[in-house]
Structure 1
């Protein structure tokens, strides 16, 4: 097993859905900074949203995108244009010792696969499925939702690491290697 897989398995993220809602044409959701062993994530099934970070970075979320905040940083989500937005927000809880791993990651991990790729199609189906299942009272649904949320984090780490390797930036790779030892 590779180092990243071992690190992710050791930390076993437990996911939950915190918001599953439709937002009108003029909205904002400010979030304060939170606990370091908790990752916030946001995904859309319809519409668009703007994510603003304290650093001034701005991201636009679209259906099929997932943004994760490994350091649980303060941020603000807001509307784009005047369209309704269907948004799913959640958290992933890791062990307190995972804070060392999480602080070695970028402040934002953004999963935005190429249109019509396998990953894109999976996310476009997984997010509405997660919305549907989170409303269900069926036995096992909490475990199912938790694992799907954890998969978002794993996808973000793998695609982020792939981009770093392509750019030949190995600081996160080094951190992962050191933390697993």
Structure 2
């Protein structure tokens, strides 16, 4: 079944200040990253020398606009920084529907120190999604105490 609201059905929920100060992992995006993304979005349509896209922004969420009815594969490279305990290992759990395939490599990230960075690649693939559809998935990184959720949305426009 295709999701009507999917990732957009989540509310802000209740804020727990004690949990908010113990994040575990963070996605960092610098000012330069936003500028590069903006330039790619605005100038990339007219200037083929401009590299990058909004999917390159090191942000927890990932989205892919795909062509309806066709096979697709999209990759998202992300880097997280450990702000939690030293010596922690986070394992990825993929939550998805049967219409898309999601894989994470590596599927576990180990941190020996606070402030250490680790990178991973998320691959999203599938085929034949109908016109005007949105499919949701997510990745949950967990060390047994901290849970860091990264939403994924794949959608099609009109033909």
- TM bin, normalised by shorter chain, reads under 0.3
**Which protein shows a greater Rg?**
2
TM-score scaled by structure 2? 0.25
Higher helix share: 1
TM-score (norm 1): 0.23
